Amino acid sequence: MDAGDTETVSVLAPVGMALLGLKTGHSIERTSPQCRPLKIKVLDIPCQPEANLEYDL
């Protein structure tokens, strides 16, 4: 899936910032702007070069 798909979250959104640093399988609980409870789980991280010590892209 690509950015903008219905199941993606922008890292610029508050909930996206809360996901930074989590690993696949981890989850967070937040409240939506409409005051609904959300539980968001990291399903996949398609590109993570730093995990393989690849810092030169």
Instruction: Give me the residue spans of the domains in the chain.
Output: 1-57
pLDDT digits (tens, 9 = 90+) for 2-42: 566 777 778 888 888 998 889 899 999 988 888 999 898 98
pTM: predicted TM-score of the whole model, two decimal places: 0.63
Sign, Cα dihedral of 18, 31, 23, 57: negative
Task: Give the SS3 label for residue 51.
Answer: helix
